[in-house]
Chain A
Amino acid sequence: MGQPMITRRGALLGAAAFCVPAAPAGCGGPPGGSGAGTVTVGSNASDAVPKKALQQVVDGFGGATVRIDTVDHNTFQENINRYLRGTPDDVFTWFSGYRMRFFAEQGLATDVSDVWRRIGGDYTPALKAASSAADGRQYFVPFTYYPWAVFYRKSVWADRDYRPPKTLDELTALAGRMKRDGLIPIGFADKDGWPAMGTFDILNMRLNGYDFHISLMSGKESWTDRRVKAVFDTWRGLLTHHQPAALGRTWQEAAQSLARGQTGMYLLGMFVAQQFPPRELDDLDLFTFPEINPKYGTDAIDAPIDGYMISAKARNVEGAKALLEHLAAASSQNIATELDPGTLACSAKADTRGYTPLQQRGADLVSGARHIAQFLDRDTRPDFASTVMIPALQRFIGRPDDIDALLRDIEAQKTNIFR
């Protein structure tokens, strides 16, 4: 690595010499372009609403000129390794949990503990923990998040006098009633591979508790453990109440049948709201997945957090930290939650008066949970999540009776990945 760096630096010096007479801006692009007063932000907010939100937030930042480099969501994520090793921006959008820790531990992120000393009062201990790596330092500033819950249409339920179930038995009974009433009890779609992870997470946390779930995710437990088997057994029992042919359906299609009143309920993230026309949003409500094991009750949910980090190669660290502080402010996050009713602000100081009723319910749900998980693909190694878990869950949905062989396969691959 050392030798090429020298040639590279030589090239940089050459460029600097070239740039001196011209206006600094003329030498655009890294590294020439980011002078003392400029902070670059690598953003994956490429679609209209989040893009507008970030722009508005940044417009309110007076500390430095901010240049946003937007890359579409998919490319950004696929490219993150190469991006951080190559020529990353000062600040970049990312996720909390294992995926943040992974880059922190590889030395690809800058420690922002000093930012946290200033903003810490606005955040709950759970959020601080979700922003901290194994070394106890913080590398991440939370911005917005969205809880996973069971969604339903109030009007559909009121017509038939359904009540949110409190236990697994009540859920099963309700599903049976819905079936008799001609509804699909539980909406389900897993063509894209990740939605079923939400079901796995919640069943595991309800049956075995948050600590076991996180331990399983970090590769410390065996997948052939009877507790994991219990998760799949329970799931298999519920599958008869799920929408059939899930592997060919996208979550948007499943949400459509919820919106049309053909489906009784649907476990998904709060972004399901984006599928509803604004005037029908008031009819959408949610409840947390019911208790299965009284020992754990309903004390844990999935609520993935999106936020910002500073790359290890950042050129304007001070400016980047100032920007992070600005992003951590409640007023910044409120801009985003107002534009996108599928998200909630992370800051405890956020003004919730502007929330829609659904956002209010989501916020209540999160404040009532003792543990917040980040969703399977953010709580474990990305290679394990995408190359092992997605095919495995799809195989289970296609052939639910083959649990023992499935779990042996997962365990064998897990051993190869977590070595």
Chain B
Amino acid sequence: MAPNRRYSAGDRAVIAVGLGLAVALELALIWGPALASVALSGTDWDGIERPRWIGGGNYADLAAEYPPFWPAVRNNLLWLGFLALIAAPFGLLCAVLLDRRLRLSRVYQNALYLPVVLSLAVVGFIAQLVFSADYGVLNAVTGLTTDWLGDSSINLWVVMPAAGWRHTGYVMIIYLAGLKSVDPALKEAAAIDGAGEGQTFFKVVFPALRPVNVIVLVITVIEALRAFDIVYAINKGRNGLELLSVLVTENIVGEAARIGFGSAIAVILLVISTGFIVVYLSQIFREDR
């Protein structure tokens, strides 16, 4: 890292304005409201009347009497596992395969990126086209009569691949950009040493991708914890597809305003995600020292 040097007055102004703006925006629009939500989670506010302080009441109700809560926690964790262990590595695999000079590479990349651009409305419709018990393609082709989306014991396992379908596209893009920053000389050197393709990848390329791996991991965690739109488009995240973010939305955003209660769920989500990120990032930076 560069040694500590004096900044000129101009430099100081540039840094102060740039960082000052960033910090101000972040505090005013992100952390301020987030902390306000923590405060709201101790009330029974319905969005209209005066909030009444009820302490930990919402949390107690949540754990004890809100049936979708524990399934949602479980589903979020499964979601994280699926994206991290299956979808993200698959995105990496595709990026590595597509990184070489290959005819049609562009076509493949486009195909993989397609699901990323689709809006919620069409994703829900596609799910119905493929998985509908009566008219879906899957049952028509296989001759089964399975209720893929309605049977709460299997629908999560249908929807997670659908989420992976989109996640792979994100991951592939990030890795494609990342692979470009790997020094080709490294690969050549390894090849000269007689390393096979697989060896070169795991010994040379993958370690060199470390900053990108961190990014992908963070994206994956974000996506898993914030997962919302696919289940919402399919059945509003009910009946086996409960996720924490959907429960927050249902209680806060909609006409049903249980803002205090919804905020309590949000705070739990907040604790899980910041807990993860703080622990993880501190560790990374420590290693970097």
Contact = CB atoms under 8 A, between A and B. Distances in A.
A and B assemble together: yes
B236 A193 contact: yes
Interface in A18-64: none
A44 to B, nearest CB: 12
B249 to A, nearest CB: 9
Nearest to B67: A409
Interface stretch (B4-12, B35-43, B80-88, B147-155): B147-155
Nearest to A411: B65
Contact of A247 (B150, B251, B254): B150
Interface in B64-83: 65-68
A245 B147 contact: yes
Residue of B46, B48, B257 with most chain A CB atoms under a 10 A cut-off: B48
Contacts of B255: 77-78, 80-81, 99, 382, 386
B211 interface: no
Contact of A249 (B66, B67, B133): B133
A85 B145 CA distance: 48
A65 interface: no
Given A81-B48, A387-B250, A394-B239, A249 B150 contact: yes
Contacts of B254: 77-78, 382, 386
Interface residues of A, number: 41
Contacts of A108: 48
A106 B236 CA distance: 28
A398 to B, nearest CB: 6
B257 A81 contact: yes
Interface string A246-258: 1111100100110
A192 interface: yes
A171 interface: no
A257 B47 contact: no
Contact of A106 (B44, B49, B148, B152): B49
B260 to A, nearest CB: 11
B258 A383 contact: yes
B59 interface: no
A241 B134 CA distance: 17
Contact of A417 (B155, B239, B258): B258
Interface in A96-121: 99, 106, 108
Interface string A381-397: 11111110011101100
A382 B250 CA distance: 11
B256 interface: yes
A78 B249 CA distance: 10
Contacts of A383: 46, 251, 256-258
B126 interface: no
Interface of B is mostly: loop
B48 A247 contact: no
A257 B134 contact: yes
B168 interface: no
A76 B23 CA distance: 34
B59 to A, nearest CB: 12
A245 B135 CA distance: 13
Contact of A248 (B148, B251, B256): B148
Contacts of A387: 250-251, 256, 258
Contacts of A413: 65-67
Contact of B253 (A78, A99, A193, A256): A78
Interface of A is mostly: helix
Interface string A240-270: 0000111111100100110000000000000
Given A106-B48, A247-B147, A193 B235 contact: yes
Interface residues of B, number: 36
Contacts of A78: 253-255
B169 to A, nearest CB: 26
A371 interface: no
A192 B235 contact: yes
Nearest to A406: B67
A191 interface: yes
A248 B257 contact: no
Interface string A80-94: 111001000000000
Contact of A85 (B48, B131, B133): B48
B128 interface: yes
B183 interface: no
A87 to B, nearest CB: 16
B245 interface: no
B149 A248 contact: yes
Given A390-B238, A412-B65, A416-B65, A398 B256 contact: no
A419 interface: yes
B132 A249 contact: yes
A130 B223 CA distance: 45
A35 to B, nearest CB: 30
Interface in B147-202: 147-152, 155
A419 to B, nearest CB: 7
A3 B216 CA distance: 46
Nearest to B254: A78
B61 interface: yes
23 contacts: A77-B254, A77-B255, A80-B255, A81-B48, A191-B149, A244-B147, A247-B235, A248-B150, A248-B155, A249-B133, A381-B256, A382-B255, A383-B251, A386-B255, A387-B250, A387-B258, A390-B236, A392-B67, A394-B238, A394-B239, A395-B67, A398-B239, A409-B65
Interface of B: 44, 46-49, 61, 65-68, 128, 131-135, 145, 147-152, 155, 235-236, 238-239, 250-251, 253-258
Given A248-B155, A249-B150, A395-B239, 16 more contacts: A85-B47, A85-B48, A106-B49, A244-B147, A247-B150, A247-B151, A247-B235, A247-B239, A248-B131, A249-B132, A249-B134, A381-B256, A382-B256, A387-B258, A394-B239, A398-B151
Interface of A: 77-78, 80-82, 85, 99, 106, 108, 191-193, 244-250, 253, 256-257, 381-387, 390-392, 394-395, 398, 409, 412-413, 416-417, 419
